[in-house]
Amino acid sequence: MKRLLALLAFVVCTTLAWGQTTEGPAITTDEFAVVGVGERMPSFEVPMTNGTTIRSEELNGKVVLITLWASWCPSCRKEFSAIGKGAFKGLLENDNFVWLPIAREENVATVKAWFDKKGYDFVSGSDVDRAIYALFATQEIPRNIVVDRGGIIVHHSAGYTKKGFAELVERLENMLN
């Protein structure tokens, strides 16, 4: 019995220690994640709604929040509503922060039209064939991935809750201070 308890304690402590980073406790990934906390951000390039193309290598040295989303997704709409109401106030003005929303299976024209309808002035990437999404996960949106200045994933979560989103924003603010 003592050996079993000692083994259990070892497993719990190892698991908790493994999920730690210098930026605070890591948020573990879910069963549908392809890459997880502690791994390097995959390489990709994404066409943006403003006509530019972003290459992941260009983001080195920045804290990056990748949001994988779709305009038809109810949880994504809630998250974008929170952002539209100022949830990222202060973050977006920080030169060391990049927010990179990428619309899954939607073209640039569809995303632009949805943004116009909602009154958002955001710029988003478009992942029509789901190739970028497939680098990160197999299912579920919205999906938020935080990458530290060294290109390492420190947070990977799926879904939206007010509390979880507020904690994400707080984590980003702490990483930038």
Alpha carbon distance 37, 21 (integer Å): 9
The residue segments making up the domain with residue 98 are: 2-176
List the CATH number of the domain containing 71.
3.40.30.10
Alpha carbon distance 102, 98 (integer Å): 12
**Per-residue confidence (pLDDT) for residue 11, from 0 to 100:** 36
- Split into its structural domains, the chain has a count of 1
**Per-residue confidence (pLDDT) for residue 9, from 0 to 100:** 41
pLDDT in tens, the chain (177 residues): 544 334 344 333 333 333 333 334 444 568 899 999 999 999 999 999 999 999 999 999 999 999 999 999 999 999 999 999 999 988 999 999 999 999 999 999 999 999 999 999 999 999 999 999 999 999 999 999 999 999 999 999 999 999 999 999 999 999 999
Yes or no: say if 66 and 100 are a contact pair by the CB < 8 Å rule.
yes
* CA-to-CA separations, 124 to 20, 46, 62, 116, in angstroms, rounded: 31, 9, 18, 12
What pTM was computed for the model? 0.83
**Per-residue confidence (pLDDT) for residue 28, from 0 to 100:** 54
Alpha carbon distance 59, 171 (integer Å): 19
**Per-residue confidence (pLDDT) for residue 30, from 0 to 100:** 81
Q: CA gyration radius for the chain?
A: 17
Yes or no: say if 25 and 19 are a contact pair by the CB < 8 Å rule.
yes
